[in-house]
């Protein structure tokens, strides 16, 4: 446990004292230059061996090689696993209430980087050989590079992003509202545990999160609309007659007669397990930490320019079925970092694939960290923006070839956005042309009529109006219509009609 007398936060508040729990593996060498810092995910802990065991061990076959590296994983501020958080008791005095709702918000990823930097300095470490992380840990790794570019050698960022989008912020808000709706939340000032805590709200938030951690195909393959009664004693939560619920969730008598699907049992079981190990206030705090993430926030350079300014070799790993942090987000980071390399995990299991497909991930990370004779190292030689863009597009091709709904939907949105911008420009030019015609007509003469005819011929050539000889012929369809016409079927059913300025799905 590392203790700071105080830590000044971006929000203007001060944590005093501030504790950072951490776990280490391997030994620090004499030069103190073999440190690999690992960032964990949202609700995980600093015990890397617990969730990334196939990547951690002694020998070259492990990405986190403890025979060569000093591996350190600090616990996030706000987490209930040791670092200062809402469950921390001020002064550590028994009988005193925890910080609870008095815990500052938001505690940002940059605050965590500042605290971890001081932790490393206390150990005599000035520079990390690499910073590695998955999900929230990937965002921490990127912030480390942005805050201290000269203190980081290489980056491995798995299933993360450069900034939390509205999609992720919206999901986190839905989780928070589930917790707030629990009558035992009491504005975060509850002091009890067990039945006195807002367990129903926290379990519901976890159930919602679990769906975003997987993908539709993965869930369908596992459960296939099976009923819990069919699962028998081998079901996710118990025997055939038991209808388990997460704490506080009561099934009415009428609900008892409804079909009880295995996926329902699974989600409720996950909710019940989660409330036994986590705290609702910590979950809310960490969700705000995620929402604050944007490497361009408050910096002189814009978002893309910040990424372009980073000199680090960076392995950016995305998952083609990830609905929480879609592959486009990792492609965006890899494309704009000068030495960014995109690697795609092809898996049906969604975001959690970085905790499932660990053996393949370990090999990819080993190749990158060795930087010798690997296909990934060859990609590092791409030094022009066009070459890097081509590399990213090549990596995305397998996903696009499968007709990924997320990829096609994103393409439709992009085309609609471009169309809206083009229409705005065309409207401005139309108004300008109308003004010029009026001025020309005011001067008189046959030149005005000839000018109008010429303009009409130009618009016909670009498909903006129908030729005069066939008044019923429609104008050319917009790009999005042509794209959708080539698809084998609709995306999520029939797409709603949208105005030129209203890109986005209903």
- Tell me the three state secondary structure of residue 85: coil
Which residue stretches of 73-161 are H helix?
Answer: 109-122, 136-147
Q: What does the H/E/C string look like for 170-195?
A: HHHHHHHHHHHCCCCCHHHCCCCCHH
Q: How far apart are CA 494 and CA 503, in angstroms?
A: 15
Length of the chain: 506
Q: What does the H/E/C string look like for 420-467?
A: HHHHHHHHHHHHHHHHHHHHHHHHCCCHHHHHHHHHHHHHHHCCCCCC
Eight-class DSSP state of 363: H
Q: How far apart are CA 279 and CA 176, in angstroms?
A: 12
Instruction: Specify the residue for token string 């105080």.
Output: 6
From the candidates 182, 279, 322, 367, give the one annotated as an active-site residue: 322
From the candidates 288, 339, 349, 351, give the one annotated as an active-site residue: 351
- Known catalytic membership, residue 85: no
| 265-282 CB burial, b ≥16 within 10 A, e <16 | bbbbbbbbebbeebbbbb
Q: Are 128 and 120 in contact (CB under 8 A)?
A: yes
Both tokens assigned to 370: 């060795």
Whether the bond between 106 and the residue before it is cis, its omega within 30 degrees of 0, is yes
Helix/strand number for the chain, H first, E second: 18, 13
Q: Are 184 and 302 in contact (CB under 8 A)?
A: no
Instruction: Specify the residue for token string 């790009």.
Output: 479
- Known catalytic membership, residue 135: yes
From the candidates 44, 85, 135, 218, give the one annotated as an active-site residue: 135
- Known catalytic membership, residue 44: no
Q: Catalytic amino acids?
A: 135, 322, 351
């Amino acid at each position: 446990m590392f203790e700071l007398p105080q830590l000044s936060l971006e929000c203007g508040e001060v944590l005093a004292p501030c504790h950072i729990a951490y776990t280490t593996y391997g030994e620090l060498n004499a030069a103190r230059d073999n440190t690999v810092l690992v960032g964990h995910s949202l609700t995980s802990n600093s015990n890397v061996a617990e969730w990334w065991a196939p990547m951690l061990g002694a020998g070259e076959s492990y990405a986190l090689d403890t025979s060569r590296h000093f591996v350190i994983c600090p616990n996030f501020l706000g987490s209930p696993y040791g670092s200062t958080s809402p469950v921390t008791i001020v002064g550590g005095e028994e009988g005193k209430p925890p910080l609870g709702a008095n815990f500052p918000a938001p505690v940002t990823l940059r605050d965590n980087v500042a605290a971890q930097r001081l932790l490393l300095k206390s150990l005599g470490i000035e520079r990390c050989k690499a910073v590695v992380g998955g999900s929230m840990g990937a965002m921490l790794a990127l912030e480390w590079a942005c805050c201290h570019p000269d203190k980081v050698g290489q980056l491995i960022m798995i299933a993360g992003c450069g900034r939390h989008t509205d999609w992720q912020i919206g999901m986190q808000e839905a989780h928070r509202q589930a917790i707030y709706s629990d009558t035992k939340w009491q504005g975060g000032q509850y002091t009890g545990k067990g039945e006195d805590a807002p367990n129903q709200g926290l379990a519901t938030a976890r159930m919602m999160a679990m769906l975003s951690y997987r993908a539709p195909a993965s869930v369908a393959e596992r459960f296939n609309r099976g009923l819990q009664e069919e699962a028998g004693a081998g079901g996710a939560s118990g025997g055939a007659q038991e209808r388990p619920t997460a704490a506080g969730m009561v099934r009415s008598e009428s609900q008892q007669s409804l079909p009880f699907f295995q996926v329902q049992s699974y989600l409720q079981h996950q909710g019940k397990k989660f409330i036994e190990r986590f705290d609702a206030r910590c979950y809310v705090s960490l969700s705000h930490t995620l929402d604050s993430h944007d490497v361009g926030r408050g910096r002189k350079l814009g978002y893309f320019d910040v990424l372009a300014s980073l000199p680090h070799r960076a392995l950016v790993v995305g998952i083609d079925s990830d609905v929480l942090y879609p592959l486009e987000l990792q492609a965006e980071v890899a494309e704009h970092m000068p030495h960014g390399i995109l690697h795609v995990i092809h898996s049906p299991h969604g975001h959690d694939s970085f905790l499932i497909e660990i053996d393949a991930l370990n090999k990819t990370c080993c190749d990158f960290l060795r930087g010798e004779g690997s296909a990934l190292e060859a990609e590092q030689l791409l030094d022009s923006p066009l070459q890097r863009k081509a590399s990213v597009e090549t990596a995305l091709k397998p996903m696009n070839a499968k007709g990924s709904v997320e990829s096609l939907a994103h393409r439709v949105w992009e085309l609609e956005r471009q169309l809206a911008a083009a229409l705005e420009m065309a409207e401005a030019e139309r108004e300008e042309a109308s003004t010029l015609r009026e001025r020309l007509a005011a001067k008189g003469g046959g030149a005005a009529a000839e000018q109008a005819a010429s303009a009409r011929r130009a618009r016909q050539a670009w498909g903006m109006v129908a030729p005069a000889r066939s008044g019923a012929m429609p104008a050319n369809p917009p790009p999005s219509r042509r794209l959708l016409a080539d698809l084998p079927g609709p995306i999520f059913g029939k797409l709603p009609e949208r105005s030129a300025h209203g890109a986005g799905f209903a």
